[in-house]
Amino acid sequence: MNYNGEFWKKYADENESRYNEEFAKFTKDLAISLRCTSVLEIGCGTGIDLRLFPDTFQIHGVDLNEYALGIAKEKFPVANFQKGSITDLPFEDSSVDFVFTHGLLNYLDEDTLQKGISEMYRVSGKYIMNCETFSSIEEKIDENQTSRNMLKRWMDYKVRIVSDVDMHEDIEPEKKRFVLLKKL
């Protein structure tokens, strides 16, 4: 996996200005409605998608960007933020009820993506959510990103498809695809 520290530091600085309260609220409300009590965001950056979760949850965020994690820890100290890779998540098997990504998987190369999906499945106890830029043919968006068909990626795993729809623009203005899976 190729990690560009300068790119991700700049991304973290801009992340705070991109805060989308509607998406954060949607994610929190979804996890609560599914009767989850623990949540993990992979590629959490500065933790903006986790900040609305109540402290009754076990709240975890993992990212490779130490700079972003510093901001996350400062702004949301009740959560457990740690440095880690999607390919080697520091959690026990089936230990987190609700595991999700938001705009991360489009940045991964093919090998990292496949290993990451396997790790997400391993640590998830109940549900997995991906909210990513979608294309049925998976094509380059720019030099850093590739659009993904995440539903196709999950077909080799024991999951039940709960949802595979485009996010409403009021919740996610970038029109990402919302995939929700129940681990079987």
Domains and CATH numbers, the chain: 5-183 (3.40.50.150)
Given this model, what pLDDT does residue 96 score?
98
Given this model, what pLDDT does residue 90 score?
96
Given this model, what pLDDT does residue 124 score?
98
Residue count of the chain: 184
Query: What is the separation of C-alpha 130 from the centre of its chain, rounded to a whole number of angstroms?
Result: 6
Q: What is the mean pLDDT of residues 98-117?
A: 93
Q: What is the pLDDT of residues 10-56, one digit of tens each?
A: 666 666 766 778 999 999 999 999 999 999 999 999 999 999 999 99
Q: What is the mean pLDDT of residues 172-178?
A: 82
| 55 phi/psi in degrees, rounded to 5 | -75, 0
Q: Is the model's pLDDT at 115 over the cut of 90?
A: yes
- Calculate what percentage of the chain has a pLDDT beyond 90: 66
Q: What are the b/e assignments for 120-130, b being 16+ CB within 10 Å?
A: bbebbbbbbbb
Q: How confident is the model at residue 4 (pLDDT cuts 50, 70, 90)?
A: low
- Calculate what percentage of the chain has a pLDDT beyond 70: 90
Handedness of CA 144, 145, 146, 148 (dihedral sign): positive
**Residue 63 to residue 44: CA distance in whole angstroms:** 6
